[in-house]
């Protein structure tokens, strides 16, 4: 079986992340999926499998032309993963989920506005909701790509959410953050109309976020 032992450590960390998606309630049933860029294309979770039973050989190696290798069929959202990874060279991992609060807002076709400064973690002043299209279609992938313009996460109308990152860990952390923001925004909406931060404040926050969590590089290591 070609490629089964290739990227073994990466496959194992994908399975660990998929299980963390269950533990963190990002996943509802087997609806979530995950991809990571590799030299030949990308590794993707298989369709309809319980993450608790996944072994490294179950992950599917996909090419950008849609061909796949391995003993399993790829997630039905392979087109979405393919199109994001093809269009966004800085993205190394894509996470898709039907998490409860992101999906609740997405069913109302609501963006997440600047109600909290952490919205900027997704790259801008809001988290957009992509218009609806049937799951697994090129149309859906195009809507999501447009909603991800200048962003690292978006909601998907009547469906769920997507978070991307330079690697698996970054995509997972952002997905948890966006789901938390969606839950807070939903709660605030139960009481009234949340007060939004203005453009000048969000510009300040976005500027701070460029260096947030980054350690300064020691001068001796600078190229």
Active-site positions read 77
Rounded to 10 degrees, what is the CA torsion of 166, 172, 175, 180? -130
61 forms beta bridges with 43, 69
Residues 60/126, Cβ–Cβ less than 8 Å: no
State which residue, 158 or 169, has the beta carbon closest to Zn ion.
Answer: 158
State which residue, 74 or 160, has the beta carbon closest to Zn ion.
Answer: 160
State which residue, 55 or 108, has the beta carbon closest to Zn ion.
Answer: 108
Place of tokens 């300064």: 216
State which residue, 4 or 25, has the beta carbon closest to Zn ion.
Answer: 25
Residues that bind Zn ion (rule: CB under 5 A) add up to a total of 1
Q: What is the largest CA-CA distance in the chain?
A: 57
Of the candidates 23, 44, 13, 168, which has an alpha carbon nearest to the alpha carbon of residue 99? Answer: 23
Of the candidates 37, 17, 32, which has an alpha carbon nearest to the alpha carbon of residue 90? Answer: 37
Minimum separation from the CB atom of position 48 to Zn ion (A): 12
Minimum separation from the CB atom of position 33 to Zn ion (A): 7
State which residue, 46 or 160, has the beta carbon closest to Zn ion.
Answer: 160
**CB-based closest residue to Zn ion:** 160
Task: For the segment 142-161, give every residue that binds Zn ion (CB under 5 A).
Answer: 160
Q: What tokens appear for 187 in the block?
A: 């709660």
Minimum separation from the CB atom of position 192 to Zn ion (A): 31
Task: For the segment 68-127, give every residue that binds Zn ion (CB under 5 A).
Answer: none
Q: Please tell me the chain's helix, strand, coil percentages from 3-state DSSP, rounded to the nearest 5.
A: 40, 15, 40
Minimum separation from the CB atom of position 77 to Zn ion (A): 6
Task: For the segment 160-219, give every residue that binds Zn ion (CB under 5 A).
Answer: 160
Minimum separation from the CB atom of position 25 to Zn ion (A): 16
Q: Which residues of 31-51 are buried (b: 16+ CB within 10 A; e: fewer)?
A: bbbbbbbbeebbbbbbbebeb
Q: Which residues bind Zn ion (CB under 5 A)?
A: 160
């Amino acid at each position: 079986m070609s490629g089964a032992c290739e990227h073994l450590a990466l496959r194992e960390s994908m399975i660990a992340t998929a299980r963390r998606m269950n533990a963190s309630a990002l996943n509802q049933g087997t609806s979530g999926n995950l991809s990571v860029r590799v030299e030949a294309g990308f590794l993707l979770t298989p369709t309809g499998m319980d993450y608790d039973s996944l072994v490294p050989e179950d992950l599917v190696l996909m090419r950008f032309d849609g061909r796949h290798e391995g003993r399993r069929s790829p997630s039905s959202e392979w087109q979405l993963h393919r199109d994001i990874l093809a269009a966004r060279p800085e993205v190394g991992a894509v996470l898709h989920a039907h998490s409860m609060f992101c999906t609740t807002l997405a069913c109302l076709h609501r963006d997440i506005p600047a109600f909290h400064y952490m919205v900027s973690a997704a790259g801008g002043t809001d988290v957009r909701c992509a218009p609806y299209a049937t799951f697994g279609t090129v149309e859906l992938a195009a809507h999501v790509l447009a909603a991800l313009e200048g962003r690292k996460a978006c909601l998907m109308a009547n469906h769920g959410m997507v978070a991307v990152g330079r690697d698996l860990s970054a995509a997972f952390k952002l997905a948890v953050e966006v789901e938390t923001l969606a839950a807070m925004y939903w709660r605030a909406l139960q009481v009234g109309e949340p007060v939004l931060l203005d453009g000048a404040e969000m510009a300040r926050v976005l500027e701070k976020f460029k260096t947030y969590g980054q350690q300064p590089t020691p001068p001796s290591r600078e190229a």
